[in-house]
């Protein structure tokens, strides 16, 4: 499951979890690699400086985001550090769930393609929405100003680039109820 900021991919993942899928959230796994005094933490502080740290010595992702979103060179530096580490943790967790007998595992991964992590999954679903809806949703969820949200949108792949690589495309410009209905229909197709 992938899609840009504010597209609704996490909502789709939640609906799938409610239906019985195991969901791995790449963003949450990403938070793990940012923990203080890990190799990743040390490397990011070395690259971006102590200005990215919060008072509790954790990496302040909003401060780091302000540096990398809208600056391709800085974003590439960040991606080169975190993507391989996150991908390895995801691979390990997928293997664990498969050993435990999980039938359907959903990887909620906003930057699936950018991390070259397509090889971890059997099928790619993309959630897309119009930019005006994305901005509205992202602002409500994150509290970020519109300018920062648009910088994030434009630092990510476009919907067209994502949909070219997907087996399933979910258009999410309607209500939450309409989205849930779409997901339930797709669930019925995959659970058999």
**For 58-101, what is each residue's pLDDT tens digit?**
999 889 988 998 788 999 999 999 999 999 999 999 999 999 99
Q: Which residues contact 86 (CB under 8 A, 6 or more apart)?
A: 26, 29, 30, 33, 115
pLDDT band for 151, please (50, 70, 90 cuts).
confident
* 183/9 Cα distance (integer angstroms): 11
Q: What is the mean pLDDT of the chain?
A: 93
Domain ranges in the chain?
A: 9-184
User: Has residue 192 got a pLDDT over 80?
Assistant: no
| Cα–Cα–Cα angle for 113, 27, 158, rounded to 5 degrees | 35
pTM: 0.84
Residue 192, both tokens: 């058999």
Q: Of 116, 136, 134, 135, give the one whose Cα is nearest residue 124.
A: 116
Residue 165, both tokens: 């690589």
Reported as a single tens digit per residue, the pLDDT across 113-136 is 988 899 999 999 999 999 999 999
pLDDT of residue 115: 86
Tell how far CA 74 is from the center of its chain: 19
Query: Under CATH, domain 9-184 is a member of which superfamily?
Result: P-loop containing nucleotide triphosphate hydrolases (3.40.50.300)
Q: Which residues contact 132 (CB under 8 A, 6 or more apart)?
A: none
């Amino acid at each position: 499951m992938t899609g840009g900021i504010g597209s609704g991919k996490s909502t789709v993942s939640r609906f799938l979890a409610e239906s019985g899928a195991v969901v791995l959230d790449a963003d949450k796994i990403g938070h793990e690699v940012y923990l203080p005094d890990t190799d990743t933490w040390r490397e990011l502080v070395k690259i971006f400086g102590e200005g990215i740290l919060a008072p509790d010595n954790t990496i302040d992702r909003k401060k780091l985001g302000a540096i990398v979103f809208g600056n391709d060179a800085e974003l590439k530096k960040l991606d080169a550090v975190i993507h391989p580490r996150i991908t390895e943790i995801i691979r390990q967790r997928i293997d664990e769930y498969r050993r435990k007998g999980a039938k359907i595992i959903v990887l909620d991964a906003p930057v699936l393609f950018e991390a070259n992590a397509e090889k971890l999954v059997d099928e790619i679903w993309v959630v897309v929405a119009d930019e005006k809806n994305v901005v509205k949703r992202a602002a409500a969820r994150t509290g970020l100003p519109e300018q920062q949200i648009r910088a994030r949108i434009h630092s990510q792949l476009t919907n067209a680039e994502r949909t070219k690589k997907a087996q399933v495309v979910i258009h999410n410009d309607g209500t939450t109820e309409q989205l849930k209905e779409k997901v339930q229909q797709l669930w019925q197709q995959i659970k058999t």
